[in-house]
Structure 1
């Protein structure tokens, strides 16, 4: 196949970026340990759709426009940073509550939208997409190859999120979460806050 090597290069680069610990994977692991497999998969599906959206932006060339439009990129970073700080506050409040005060099965329908919003508010996702696609595709690449590469990466993203949801919803992880919930939520709050304020600072200093 003509583009096989290019697809493998793109898939390898995107896989490394996708599986690396970050706000999305951290949030998904926490949701799966806290609320179980169903909530984790719904949250992961929302993350996947958000990731695919940025993939579409990158594949159509609009990623360059996003990167080059200072005002738009700044607004996206501010919104994304604010959302991460909000997640930090929610994790901090969860850490402060007793276990019997923490809802574990409510609002399942909201998990998809929370995951979607998290990845839609992450402007760094389009950078990851553009970097991965540029590693294997040249300027002369036809639209079908770009579409195929985008679908491969979207599939890898979905597989990654599904893997996180299925793994961290296993009984052992959920039991460990219940025992160390406050520590886990506290660490998550700190990491979300760090990522959020870093993104906000990046927006204000651009």
Structure 2
């Protein structure tokens, strides 16, 4: 596998990783409301969740999972319910959050929250398979697959760290304090939309 193919795979995965979605927008919200350190820990959890699905995709289990209707549907229902739970928490935060400041959460809990969010989303395996297919050929061996997967893992960590740094800047955090109820409400709506989409996708099979 040449350098150009690796770069193409990394670029494809970067586009997927930074695209707006439940993971990236929740990371941005945490960065604005709780600061850079909490967001970096949360982002590390998100990235480790991506690694889980990346290893599944790289090992070939992703194709098996896609072909297993009942297993994939069950995972989508579980992921959808988790996203609906997050929607409820965000909506409650939008209406009950005190103006005095954010609630303190231990760093390891931020990591777990990020990890669970991406592990509960089986659609991640589709993104992995799409990114890997750009740079890999059918006759590529283990080391080519390992190199492409490693590049995507590094890109995933960098993309989440980028969100953490950008949205934890002072101006962003100050703006959030003025609009936090609206932002929490919007995030709740996004989680609800994504959760219902996963459940609807599972039941439509």
TM range (shorter): over 0.9
Q: 2:140 and 2:4 mapped to 1: Cα distance?
A: 13
Q: Does 1:41 align with 2:31?
A: no
1:28-54 CA-to-partner distances (Å, cap 9, x unmatched) read: 011111111111011000001010111
Q: 1:60 and 1:102 mapped to 2: Cα distance?
A: 45
The residue aligned with 1:18 is 17
Note the C-alpha offset of 1:98. 3.9
Note the C-alpha offset of 1:108. 2.6
The residue aligned with 1:28 is 27
The residue aligned with 2:185 is 186
Q: 2:7 and 2:107 mapped to 1: Cα distance?
A: 36
Q: 1:3 and 1:156 mapped to 2: Cα distance?
A: 18
> Which structure 1 segments of 5+ residues have no match?
none
Q: 1:71 and 1:136 mapped to 2: Cα distance?
A: 30
Q: 2:40 and 2:149 mapped to 1: Cα distance?
A: 22
Note the C-alpha offset of 1:102. 5.8
How many residues were matched structurally?
A: 205
| Contact 1:94/1:102 (<8 A) preserved | no
Q: 1:101 and 1:88 mapped to 2: Cα distance?
A: 22
Q: Does 1:155 align with 2:157?
A: no
Note the C-alpha offset of 1:25. 0.1
> Which structure 2 segments of 5+ residues have no match?
none
Alignment RMSD, CA only? 1.3
SS at match of 2:117: helix
Q: 2:170 and 2:108 mapped to 1: Cα distance?
A: 22
Q: Does 1:167 align with 2:166?
A: yes
SS at match of 1:99: coil
Note the C-alpha offset of 1:125. 0.6
Q: 2:201 and 2:130 mapped to 1: Cα distance?
A: 19
Q: Does 1:130 align with 2:129?
A: yes
Note the C-alpha offset of 1:165. 0.9
Q: 2:189 and 2:101 mapped to 1: Cα distance?
A: 19
Q: Does 1:200 align with 2:178?
A: no
Q: 1:117 and 1:102 mapped to 2: Cα distance?
A: 25
| Contact 1:137/1:146 (<8 A) preserved | yes
Q: 2:97 and 2:149 mapped to 1: Cα distance?
A: 44
